């Protein structure tokens, strides 16, 4: 669950999932321009890439066993969950001042 740092209203998960370090989103409640905190998003991205490599390596080593395939299938869902849970939003005041 991600809240607007300005008005504390709930930001739809779908918007958070598409948020990267390069784009921003608009709060549906107050219209603030929000950005992801770069450190948190980079951390999730880095961990996600590491986990993807680990799971694919596991699949190759085990000859694509069923547990490894389940791991590969679950990984995107886990990353989406992590990004919606841990993404920290900052109010972007650039371009307003
Ligand atoms: Zn807001």
pLDDT per residue as tens digits for the range 8-32: 999 998 888 888 888 899 999 999 9
> Does the residue 15 lie in any domain?
yes
Distance between CA 23 and CA 1 in Å, rounded?
A: 19
- Domain hosting 80: range is 2-91
How many whole angstroms from 92 Cα to the centroid of ligand 1? 12
User: Are the CB atoms for 6 and 32 separated by under 8 Å?
Assistant: yes
Distance between CA 26 and CA 42 in Å, rounded?
A: 21
Query: Domain count of the chain?
Result: 1
pLDDT tens-digit series, residues 73-97? 999 998 888 888 888 899 987 655 4
pLDDT at 84: 82
> Does the residue 97 lie in any domain?
no
How many whole angstroms from 31 Cα to the centroid of ligand 1? 6
pLDDT at 85: 83
How many whole angstroms from 27 Cα to the centroid of ligand 1? 5
pTM of the shown model? 0.70
> Does the residue 44 lie in any domain?
yes
How many whole angstroms from 30 Cα to the centroid of ligand 1? 4
- The DSSP bridge pattern shows strands 10-11 and 2-3 to be antiparallel
> Does the residue 96 lie in any domain?
no
> Does the residue 69 lie in any domain?
yes
pLDDT at 54: 96
How many whole angstroms from 10 Cα to the centroid of ligand 1? 8
pLDDT at 61: 96
Distance between CA 64 and CA 51 in Å, rounded?
A: 16
Distance between CA 91 and CA 9 in Å, rounded?
A: 13
pLDDT tens-digit series, residues 30-59? 999 999 888 888 888 899 999 999 999 999
What does the DSSP 8-state code read for residue 9?
A: P
């Amino acid at each position: 669950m991600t809240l607007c740092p300005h008005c504390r209203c709930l930001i739809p998960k779908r918007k958070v999932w598409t948020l990267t370090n390069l784009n921003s989103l608009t709060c549906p409640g107050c219209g603030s321009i929000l950005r992801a905190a770069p450190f948190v998003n980079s951390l999730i991205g880095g961990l996600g890439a590491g986990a993807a490599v680990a799971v694919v390596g596991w699949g190759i080593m085990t000859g694509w066993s069923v547990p490894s395939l389940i791991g590969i299938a679950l990984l995107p869902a886990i990353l989406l969950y992590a990004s919606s849970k841990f993404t920290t939003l900052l109010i972007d005041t650039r371009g307003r001042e």
